[in-house]
Chain A
């Protein structure tokens, strides 16, 4: 289980990094999405990987730590997900505006070189 998750994070991260290094703004936005999945998962696994132990403490007597998953990374990730949405939206609008203003979707605002067909 741990290995699957670790490899998954690695794949998401590698795909994200690859895309972030690409020149086209849409590639970068997809890359940022994948990177944020990977990062959220990574923050999430710093808690404990518990199955069927959601952090719902219905009675005070049963509030023994080992019966529950770690709620703190979850709260952090929840915040991160929502903020991620906001930054994606902001990036998208900047992307569109840049495309309209510069006439290219290269992240530098201009093409790297004249493409030879």
Chain B
């Protein structure tokens, strides 16, 4: 439970921090600091438990059916990383309080920082590999936000994007690797994976697993050839760099390698790739660092170099190397974080980080200078400081690689040491010499508490450097023990081991470094613009940008070739794709001869479809120039479909189809008014004929295909056991004998609830779209029919219509019929549960009744008289249906469980009252609201335009021509 708190607390804090006022620097810092401090105290309280070698675990059921649980686990290694993440976070928060300018929007900063801390903790505390990858990607995401914190700067945006692209790609590789690993082991639980070394190493997939996971780790830890993102990530505010690039983000890759060391290490692949990448990286990093002009750039490359060193140690893979790797991880975190902070102070006080400009500032800020010099010396590996100890261990380990004759790694190590001394000296140099007044500001010491974090870390460097066994001995052995298990070697963390080869190597590196530095300075190598001996094209950033550009360019070309913005073309592609898919699947299961035609050919049915088919074809032929005719013909097909439903025992469908047909036709009729007539234009061109022939052939093929599929389906009836279930349970459990209705309002009620929600959404969308409706200019004026003197409405003004209605006699007549229509609707609604009917049908009947009123009395008249507010009907319907469903919760059943009650009323007899009835009522109300909202919104447009006409600005109607 404590582990869960550790993870959740920072994320909660992150959300809370995001909502604080923009410039509340102090409050933000106090708050974030309190979160970090609390987490840190929790971690510290577990020290004794962890030091005894115990494992703290916590599990929470997540997706149990896939064997995935939220699993947290803290052992020595995780504890050590947790301590670093939280401890340095706390120091960084304190530092950032002073570093951030009052103008910066700090809530964002602290919010991201806490979220990042949570993600990092998630990585180190995960006891499940999938979960680890999720947190891993979260660290990529939050670090992206942190690096791009000053998003108004191009370099920050680019740096953030580059870091994110590289690390997230690595994360995807890692995910693939982890999934493979989990498949091999049979579990994603870390405990099981760690115990399955033999299985994994001997498996065929080992190489793939290892490479994918290595890609993840090497990208994250900025190892060659993925190192290039780290220097560009320096565009982040310095506290972010101090946190991400010393102790946390880049250490995640190393953490992963250490974590999976027991499973994956010890093979030649591991040694070659990991140690190789590490060795190249540490050399290149150290070399580049020596020639940087930007202080942060120098630190970035030195970080790359030190990460390479640690990676190399993990790659060497002897138990003692692992101990050294862990030790150097701690040491690097302390001196590098303090150096970043010192550099931030210099930047803050002088306004520049350019090594060529900075000189002699030590006399103005002696305190900071001392801190930076000590930390720099630790970085260079000066004795009595922590860096010296782990570097010496590294030198010792390089000697064990290969045979006695193979000394290349040792040579590389010493070279790295030499350049390490060179860049450390360059860094320290800014404090000495004569002060360069051109920077314009006289630097001074920073506030007391801004110095404190660096101070604290430097003291750690000293303490660890002088009393290693006393300070970190136990910590290191418990962390190393959790990686190595019973392989934990004997080692001695003393400063003095007597005169041996590693000591000589350290000495060579120190003296050699100093001499190289002096020689290079004399020759003026450091003032050059470019790093010597490196070709111009070997620029990671440029190569990356070029690759990205080439990729997007290629995609855009592909889109131009294969994509189109033309809807017609898109539909064509869609249809062809469907046909293609169909052709690929083929007709293998066709077996017409084995089938039994269940019913003989009936003449009336054939005649029916003769009409239906003719209607469909005619509708297709006429849709371009004779829209009204086409619409009527399509309606004819609809009626035939409706009769077919009736024929084959589906009265509910027939009813619904009939009503929907009516409403749809009405709707399209209303729409036709706004479509200017399309007139036949001469003879079609050859290209048009070609295009039509092509589409015609496609249509014929599609039709034939559907015919064939239909035949196959009908001759191979499936024995659906689901349907039997519904038939058997409808009456006994649904309480209704109309199985289709029971299905809709009971068994599949959630579906229906979703459907009426869609209806409501569509209705409101239609309404919203029509509010800003601008009709085609040709159709603004009153249509010719309305201007025809035979039409009584032609002489009618809007006020006239409001007082008299449109057609007086029919409207009186329809008003009289209206209650009867409503009664019919109620009748169909009431009997719906047992006989054909139900909410949908009743709602549509009700709406049609209202619509007839609109048609015969005129929109203006109805809108004046009626109080119908369709919006409210829609929401009321949805609320009723949802409330009925939710009601089941209160009596302890799942959502939408229905209950049937039979009430006997005097005079009426027994009444059948299922709760589904209320649900159906909701459907009814929602359907009425939807149809009325859509239809009236469209009909209302005519009123707007009539008003337009009657107000005097009459647009002449377009010359009306009879359709040819």
Contacts and interface: CB of A to CB of B under 8 A. Distances in A.
Given A22-B623, A96-B773, A55 B738 contact: yes
B492 interface: no
A10 B704 CA distance: 6
B744 to A, nearest CB: 6
A94 B737 CA distance: 41
Contact of B656 (A57, A78, A101): A78
B572 A9 contact: no
B728 interface: yes
A89 B762 contact: yes
B685 interface: yes
Interface residues of A, number: 95
Interface in B343-376: none
Interface of B is mostly: helix
Contacts of A107: 567-568, 571
Interface stretch (B267-275, B294-302, B712-720): B712-720
A48 B192 CA distance: 52
B63 interface: no
Interface of A is mostly: helix
B631 interface: yes
Contacts of A27: 623-624
B904 interface: no
B720 to A, nearest CB: 6
Given A21-B575, A37-B637, A65 B675 contact: no
A56 B294 CA distance: 84
B840 A8 contact: no
Nearest to A90: B762
Contact of B834 (A31, A56, A81, A97): A56
A24 B623 contact: yes
A92 B667 contact: yes
Contacts of A92: 667-668, 671, 938
Contact of B616 (A15, A72, A79, A99): A15
Interface size class of B (residues with CB under 8 A): 35 or more
Contacts of B597: 1-2
Nearest to B687: A113
Given A6-B714, A44-B645, A117-B682, A74 B699 contact: no
Given A46-B718, A86-B930, A79 B744 contact: yes
Contact of B599 (A2, A12, A17): A2
Contact of B571 (A21, A47, A95): A21
A18 B641 CA distance: 20
A6 B731 CA distance: 34
A94 B766 CA distance: 8
B572 A21 contact: yes
Contacts of A45: 710, 713-714
Contact of A56 (B619, B698, B738, B840): B738
B865 interface: no
A40 B718 CA distance: 18
B703 A10 contact: yes
Contacts of B105: none
B739 A56 contact: yes
Nearest to B711: A6
16 contacts: A4-B609, A7-B609, A15-B620, A17-B702, A26-B623, A30-B620, A33-B664, A42-B710, A58-B731, A72-B743, A83-B758, A90-B762, A90-B765, A92-B667, A95-B675, A115-B681
Interface of A: 1-24, 26-31, 33-34, 37-38, 40-42, 44-60, 63, 65, 68-72, 74-75, 77-79, 81-90, 92-97, 99-101, 103, 105-109, 112, 115-117
Q: Which 4 A-B pairs have the closest CB atoms?
A: A14-B703, A10-B707, A18-B699, A55-B739
